[in-house]
Amino acid sequence: MKFKYFSLFLFCFAPQFLFSQSYTLSGYIKDAKSGEALIGASVYITTYKTGTAANNYGFYSITIPKSDSIGVVFSYLGYKAQIKKIYFGQNISLDIKLFPDSIIGEEVVITDKNNTDNVEKPRMGVIDIPISKIKELPAILGEPDVLKVVQLLPGVQSGQEGTTGFYVRGGNSDQNLVQLDEAVVYNPNHLFGLFSTFNSRALNKVTLIKGGFPAQYGGRLSSILDITMKEGNNQQFHTEGGIGLISSQLTIEGPFVKDKASFIISGRRTYLDYILKPFLPKTNQTKYFFYDLNAKINWEINSKNRLFLSYFTGTDKAGYTEASSINYGIHFGNSTATLRWNHLFGPRIFSNTSIIYNTYLLSLSTVQGNYYSQLYSGINDIGGKSEFEFFPNSNHTFRFGAVYTFHTFSSTGKSGSIPTNLQATTIDANKIPPRFSTEGAAYINDEWNISKRVGVNLGVRLPIFVTSKVTYVKIEPRATVKVELDSSSSIKASYTVMNQFLHIVPSSTASLPTDIWIPSSNITKPQLSEQIGLGYFRNFKHNMYEASAEVYYKTMYNQVAFKEGSQLLEQSNIDSSLVFGKGWSYGAEFFLKKNEGKLTGWISYTLAWTWQQFPDLNYGDKFPFKYDKRHNLSVVAVYEANKKWTFSAEFVFSTGGAYTLPVGRFNVNNDGSLYDASYYAYDRRNNYRMNPYHRLDVAAIYKKSRHFFKWKYESELVFSIYNVYSHRNPYFVYLTVDPITNVAKAKQVSLLPIIPSISYNFKF
Amino acid sequence: MKKIYFILVFSFFSILIFRCQKNIDVKIQNYDSQPVIECILYPGTIPKLFLSNSVAFFSDQATPQQLFVRGASVTIIGPSGSDILVVDSSFDNFRCRWVLFYKGNFPSVVGGTYSLTVNYNNKIYSATTTINQPQVQIQSASYVYSFHDIYGDHEGVVVNYNDATGSGNHYRYQMGRIIDSTVYGASNLGVVHSSCIGNGDFYIRELGRSVYSDKNLDGQQLTLTVEPAFTHQQDDTGFVFIQSIDASSAEFYDQLDKQKLALFNPFIEPVFIKPQIEGAIGVFGSAILSDSVMFVFPE
């Protein structure tokens, strides 16, 4: 079966294109002011009505038949497009610098050619998140956040109130691969998920892929969130900062050597701990802070070689030790480091080789009443990746490569009643037996324009996972087909198979982060998904508006959950506390986006169903997934009134999440024994729905140029109101039973009412 | 400077607002009450069946007297013939209340197969059990001052016995004691109502909540450590038994145990009680007691 797939693949990609009389136009497309790579910038050959796009490093390459001259349009959203007329009798290397819309340089020509990738590319389920818009949208406590914006996209469900956890097309949170400069970030959250770890000022590009995955992506079932950090301004030094309600941040970037080497360093820290300290009683030892730091250096050694070194670290520490029934202490964080080497083997072959290190730690201790819970989850990954992009002609783009990661997991947990000496033994991380595993994959993918109207994206990925007891070898065919109906609309279909060898064991009860990561084993089989999608894509008014409608059906096998009544004990093997089942999700997603003009934004609506079925849970019957939310609506608008004022608003509505409550009670009267009590009767899991969630946020940004002594700088005052009409959105539900009457009551707790905030940003 | 001051003051008031919470009542779903049947047959003992109704979770009906089912037709057919159970009651000295149940006429016998029929509200609930569990012999019973298990820190009675050959055996602990009004419950059972019983002594039967199986331990020596359900004084005596119980009873009581733990401990996944009798909650099962061993509390 596997050989059949491979033979088919080779047949499809026979080297029919090997080289006739043709030449290659290649180079880098960059921001003229900062030198930042313009990822995804469009290159369109008007002579042949064909084109390509810049890759994650801003590199483009297109091979076309020999011609006396060709017309080329270089464009990128938010930048003035450039038209070039080029004599084309040889291979040409041409680096392009595009100017932002607000600046017009001498050689810039204005054109109405805009990005039509959403219609023309044989890819679906892919959304580029506009970094520039993130800072203009309303944010909790004035902290702009990329993951908050991800939650506003079709097919993406948010988790609990105020959190940045996201759930894509019915998948659990562990099924999202979040990678920063190719390094995996296992927990992209701060402050129990209220903010993400990503400082938006340090980011260049964010892309969410939720279906039709190209073969270069793998390792997760539901989505890829591919985040690329800025490289740093290689033209001049800049300082950018912000003072917010709970945190401040500072970003410095500039050239080491102009046009050759640059750096960026960006840090953020909260000071909630210092603000609250004077107001707290001495018995209350509540403390909280987080910080994160992004740094990147890049060096263009010569025209064929570039080096990048990226580093990220983020840490949260919190403690709540008031003498009451609920105490906790938590420490978690991620660190990543990536060294990358770009090399051009010629104008048609681009390669990137990376060495990647990342580490993740979660240490949590919680007390509720007379019971405690302790968790420790540690992951260390070290690996490498070598990828090649081959542009043989304008109809094919090949990507192939191999990935290797060595994982070390140290996960355990325990809970129980508090000992009489009030000293629960702590988990000694050094005594947790590590679990080693090796994960690798090889892949090849071709983006093939079969004709003007028909294109395909075909690929295959071969992942392998090795532990001391078991080896898994899988095959993942990937295919996306596009048929253009006319110049502004197309239909697309996709089929993908994904495997995932890492698992988060979700707790259905705890409201604190309890994400214990474990690798696949001989007991816990790899997660597997199959997804099919069908979509209609259309642009209007010279691509000012983008619209799409997608339907999908996804099945997920080898899903994990804790056994009923399972209690973590430090000496127990977590795998033995698990049960295994399947999940499936289906739905329709609608997206309308306005890209240009004074008013920009989007409307996103998702209608979805997600089910799970475990033989050992819920009497073996299917039940709705915790984040099964039938309706999700997001409306986002940004209005640039003038050069000084920008207004924005977002409205979200979603069906309430599912949770479990008992429906009945019964007594057991066994002759006065310890069994005597009132017990709960459940009819099914996730039988209740929280109230619908809806919220309106607004923001206003006032921009002004100011002077600080002799230096001119740009300033921004950002006023925002989160949850304008203070809707009491559900956070969680808990039960209380009157000890005298034995009568039960359920209470729903809301977390975030109206939160006005103000922050101040500056840029030198 | 004024701006910074403004930002800080604004921050503080925002944080105060941020801390707000509000409780909201949850909509109640409809619930159809189910009969709760609990009957364990012990050889040599007359059958005793507890029959009550479950109630909607948020119902204000809660006491055993309110929930007891009257007017049901309860029959157990066994080697001694058809035994029609009738309503009877006993006084729970510990809780100072009457407990209602259905009582039979014929003692159960080892090796017998028994069929239960409960006819109530024009619905019939039936189940069968056979008293064929192996009887085990206790080798020793001792005392430990302190041990820690998933229920917490406590003293314990340590019982050693050999598992009977053959897999699928299930056991639980039992102790019989005579106590008086000076005794307290060890957990949350409260105190003896001396106003109800005066200074007299009375017999109690403690059943251990945990159910032990011989999975992967077939034929080996087993050790149980069990927290006494009531307080004691030095030289107080009790009689320790090991019950061999059938698989249905083992599953039912194990689920009860785990659910109770989950209700106390917020870090444990909730447990669904699976039906052992079609259409009803509860169990119809049987148990064989080991010979008793006298146990003297050393402190």
Chain B residue numbers touching A415 (CB-CB < 8 A): 265, 267-268
C-alpha distance from A752 to closest chain B C-alpha (Å): 6
d(CA A40, CA A120): 13
A743 to B267: CB separation less than 8 angstroms, yes or no: no
B95 to A672: CB separation less than 8 angstroms, yes or no: yes
If you measure CA to CA, which chain A residue comes closest to B146? A420
Q: What is the pLDDT of residue A296?
A: 92
Name the residue among B297, B261, B63, B283 with its Cα closest to residue B179.
Answer: B297
Question: Of A481 and A626, which is predicted with more confidence?
Answer: A481
Residue in A563, A566, A752 closest to B18 by CB: A752
- pLDDT, tens only, B76-122: 999 989 999 999 998 877 777 788 999 999 999 999 999 999 999 89
- pLDDT, tens only, A214-270: 999 999 999 999 998 888 888 888 888 888 877 788 999 999 888 888 999 999 888
Residue in B10, B38, B259 closest to A670 by CB: B38
Establish if A742 touches chain B: CB-CB under 8 angstroms.
yes
Backbone dihedral angles phi then psi of residue A577, each to the nearest 5 degrees: -95, 5
pTM: 0.83
Give, for B18, the enclosing helix (H) or strand (E): helix B2-18
Q: What is the pLDDT of residue A320?
A: 64
pLDDT interval class at A402 (50, 70, 90) = very high
| pLDDT of B177 higher than 60 | yes
Q: What is the pLDDT of residue A96?
A: 87
| pLDDT of A421 higher than 90 | no
B23 to A680: CB separation less than 8 angstroms, yes or no: no
d(CA B281, CA A665): 11
Query: So what's the ipTM on this one?
Result: 0.87
- pLDDT, tens only, A118-160: 888 888 888 888 777 777 777 766 677 888 888 888 888 877 6
A370 to B264: CB separation less than 8 angstroms, yes or no: yes
Residue in B34, B62, B269 closest to A566 by CB: B269
A666 to B270: CB separation less than 8 angstroms, yes or no: no
C-alpha distance from A300 to closest chain B C-alpha (Å): 42
Q: What is the DSSP string of A232-301?
A: --SSS-EEEEEE-SSEEEEEEEEEEETTTEEEEEEEEEE-HHHHHGGGS-TT---EEEEEEEEEEEEEEE
Chain B residue numbers touching A564 (CB-CB < 8 A): 258, 269-272
C-alpha distance from A758 to closest chain B C-alpha (Å): 7
C-alpha distance from B273 to closest chain A C-alpha (Å): 7
pLDDT interval class at A112 (50, 70, 90) = very low
Cα-Cα-Cα-Cα torsion A592, A593, A594, A600, nearest 10 degrees, comes to: 120
- pLDDT, tens only, A580-594: 999 999 999 999 998
Question: Of A34 and B154, which is predicted with more confidence?
Answer: A34
A510 to B266: CB separation less than 8 angstroms, yes or no: yes
Q: What is the pLDDT of residue A452?
A: 83
Question: Of B51 and B148, which is predicted with more confidence?
Answer: B51
Coil, strand, or helix at residue A576? helix
Question: Of B82 and A423, which is predicted with more confidence?
Answer: B82
Chain A residue numbers touching B208 (CB-CB < 8 A): 674
| pLDDT of A500 higher than 90 | yes
Establish if A678 touches chain B: CB-CB under 8 angstroms.
yes
pLDDT interval class at A105 (50, 70, 90) = very low
What's the token pair of residue A432? 């947790």
| pLDDT of A658 higher than 80 | yes
Name the residue among A93, A26, A15, A22 with its Cα closest to residue A64.
Answer: A22
Q: What is the pLDDT of residue B8?
A: 41
A675 to B25: CB separation less than 8 angstroms, yes or no: no
Mean pLDDT, to the nearest integer, of A623-642? 91
d(CA A180, CA A198): 9
Coil, strand, or helix at residue A198? coil
If you measure CA to CA, which chain A residue comes closest to B60? A743
Q: Please, which residues 534-563 of chain A have a Cβ atom closer than 8 Å to chain B?
A: 562-563
C-alpha distance from A633 to closest chain B C-alpha (Å): 24
C-alpha distance from B279 to closest chain A C-alpha (Å): 12
C-alpha distance from A732 to closest chain B C-alpha (Å): 10
Mean pLDDT, to the nearest integer, of A544-553? 92
Ranges A297-306, A530-539, A667-676, B228-237: which has the least confidence: A667-676
Q: What is the pLDDT of residue A607?
A: 95
Q: Is B155 in contact with B142 (CB distance < 8 Å)? A: no
Chain B residue numbers touching A566 (CB-CB < 8 A): 268-269
Chain B residue numbers touching A568 (CB-CB < 8 A): 267
Query: A194, A666, A687, A751: best mutation site toward chain B, by most B Cβ within 10 Å?
Result: A666
Residue in A419, A618, A741 closest to B153 by CB: A419
C-alpha distance from B235 to closest chain A C-alpha (Å): 22
Chains A–B, number of C-beta pairs less than 8 Å apart: 244
Q: Please, which residues 134-173 of chain A have a Cβ atom closer than 8 Å to chain B?
A: 141
pLDDT mean across residues, chain B: 82
Question: Of A210 and A512, which is predicted with more confidence?
Answer: A210
What's the token pair of residue A373? 């819970």
Long-range contacts of A17-23 (CB under 8 A, 24+ apart): A17/A392, A17/A393, A17/A395, A17/A396, A18/A392, A19/A63, A19/A392, A19/A393, A20/A65, A21/A65, A21/A66, A22/A63, A22/A64, A22/A65, A22/A66, A22/A393, A23/A63, A23/A64, A23/A66, A23/A88, A23/A89, A23/A90, A23/A91, A23/A92
Q: What is the pLDDT of residue A4?
A: 52
Mean pLDDT, to the nearest integer, of A306-311? 92
Radius of gyration of chain B (CA): 24
| pLDDT of B58 higher than 90 | no
Chain A residue numbers touching B63 (CB-CB < 8 A): 742
A672 to B260: CB separation less than 8 angstroms, yes or no: no
Q: What is the pLDDT of residue A513?
A: 47
d(CA A315, CA A321): 20
The three-state (H, E, C) secondary structure of B158-169, written as one string? EEEEECCCCCCC
| pLDDT of A439 higher than 90 | yes
A662 to B204: CB separation less than 8 angstroms, yes or no: no
Coil, strand, or helix at residue A360? strand
Ranges B71-75, B132-136, B154-158, B250-254: which has the least confidence: B154-158
Cα distances from A97 to residues A38, A56, A169, A351, in angstroms, run: 9, 16, 38, 22
d(CA B99, CA B81): 27
C-alpha distance from B49 to closest chain A C-alpha (Å): 10
pLDDT mean across residues, chain A: 82
A747 to B26: CB separation less than 8 angstroms, yes or no: yes
Report the share of chain A in percent with pLDDT over 70.
Answer: 85
Report the share of chain B in percent with pLDDT over 70.
Answer: 83
Mean pLDDT, to the nearest integer, of A619-636? 92
Strand order in the sheet with A677-681: A677-681, A664-668, B55-56
Establish if A671 touches chain B: CB-CB under 8 angstroms.
yes
